[in-house]
Structure 1
Amino acid sequence: MLRIMEAIQRRKLIQLLNDEYKHDMVHDGQETTDGVINYTSPPKVFGKQNAIDYDNIPHITTPSLTNASKKFPKNIINEDLQKFIESLEYKLTDLQKKALRITWKKMSEAPRTSSKGMLCIMEKIFDKMISENPEISNVFYRSAFLSCIEDRKKMKIFKNENSDTEKCPFKKKTIATLRDHANILLDFVNTIMAHMYNIPYKQTYTYKLTSLGCSHAKLTPLGFDRNWFHKLGECFAEVMFSQESIRAFPHAPNAWSIFAVSLTEKLYVESKWKKCDNYHKVQRPLQSSYTFSDSPYDNNTSTDNKRKLPSSSKSMYQIEDKYDDTDQESEIYTGRPTKL
């Protein structure tokens, strides 16, 4: 009986999502503001010790009668993000794109109470990562400690150079907490979705995945492991799969899985040290063939690769150490003895 009730509720939810999708398509064709994302203040959660402040959190508003093009400029993104969006669209099918938009809109319009908003979903992703790997939280603590020391050092210099005492010297926002990461991930998802479906959106940050990966690569001495990006993708997919709208709508789990894998794989590749601007390449000469072998020619090949061999039919092990210096025709510029 319970399974029958669940199946009925699922069919009702799918029908509701499809009706909303058709309604969005009609409004998009008429150039109305259906699906416009802006900044408003949803209700706050009261009655808890750590109340969640949802001010300035982007979410989808209901359709209005004003023209969106007058209020919101066209989405402008950098080339790096444009390439990522193109690769993502290439991987997704038409049904998956439809499922991605419907479920994203449904989750964005969820009530901000009862921990069902998109921000709470993003926070669950990072909470799940830390619960499965506590070492991640230690990297946050170390980074915050060093950033605090560096900020105080810079602010002391700034305070000595400037006599303006009205400005607080301790308001640098260089410490990225879990809450900040959740907000950035939410804004990134909204930016990708808004650009894919031509929805006007004012993004908070300017995303460059290359610099984002390099900034995390600099945390390697503090214990950061770039394999954690793969863990981020797993937690992202698991949390999304637990949402009712994604479980109910066909092709939605596959669509969000592709989105998570594409994002985390891109960050994983860009977090290599060699891609970082501050990474100094070490000049290592190529090793000769005698480096790991005992050869009578080691002392000579270490200085230069010029080797004089006589024109003889003997094998290289029968050649004596002393040769005629007048024989200039048999000079071979190589670090490896050649059988003549």
Structure 2
Amino acid sequence: MKASFPLSLRIALGALVLASSSLAHAWPDRAVKLIVPSAAGGVIDVPARIYANFLSKEIGQPVVVENKTGAGGSIAVQAMLNAPADGHTILYTGSSVLAEIPHTMKPPYDPMRDIKPVASLAKYGLVLVVSPDYPASDMAGLAKQLKAEPESGSFASPSPGTLSHFGGEMLNRRLGVSMQHVPYPGAPPALVALMSKQVTMYIDSLVTSAPFVRAGKLKALAVSGTSRFPGLPQVPTFAEQGYPEFNNFGGELGIVVSPKMPAADVDKLYAVTRKIAGMPEYRDQVTRQGFEPVTPSSPQEFAQNVQSRYTNFGELIRTMNLKP
């Protein structure tokens, strides 16, 4: 004789099975891929790996960093968008990929609609560097050298549409010269080109250039921001030398996901990221690399910051008449 279960018990057992199934597939239930749109050792890659280590510890799953360079970050963004939108593929990126480069290198997606910002994690400043034996030692000397031969200078960038690119064009306009823009596939090759004197100057992140300045392999003429960089206290700011337009010239780094990622999982990712951002050990590691750690306030605020940068740089590009 077969045993018969009451209807109420069968409903309860069914609910338990469904709940168990839901928990089994809750984010994250396997390794997480963290895509980075820069080469290993680049300005985005360094803090991304710090974040990946802490994230892995917090979620109890491996976090694998995957570098996808090229096309101004579009290849990395597309890889994230092509992956299942289940939160197991995240993009750690710079503001340039979302808000600046798309104005000069049109991507196959809308950076303001097809990407969901989750959390801002770090900021960094910039430094104008030249070869150690370049005749100028400050911005006045640089202006003198460039104006002596207005069409002979050149400046490097890690991609069209980056702050390095815009900074060089801003100096062209300010000084009335015609330096040639020479883009490279990332900061490391741009630095190699500068040290081998293939280009005149490079406005690079302090993170990647400061060690070379301290080692005597590059000479720094100015840093962005309203105060001097503690790692290079001898280098004056642009503003100190009469270039206040570089006061707010810097980059922002953070994580973004597909807008199709479930809202509950986005909330979990944000919560664990905010927890990491507040850890003294994490902040110390980020600071030692030359970044300013940021405690994210909300995904909405990060999205507003990205939108504001996108709008502002769009206006700047129109002013400079730069074409995609």
Fold match (TM-score > 0.5): no
Larger Rg: 1
TM, length-normalised to structure 2 = 0.27
More strand by share: 2
Q: TM-score, normalised by structure 1?
A: 0.26
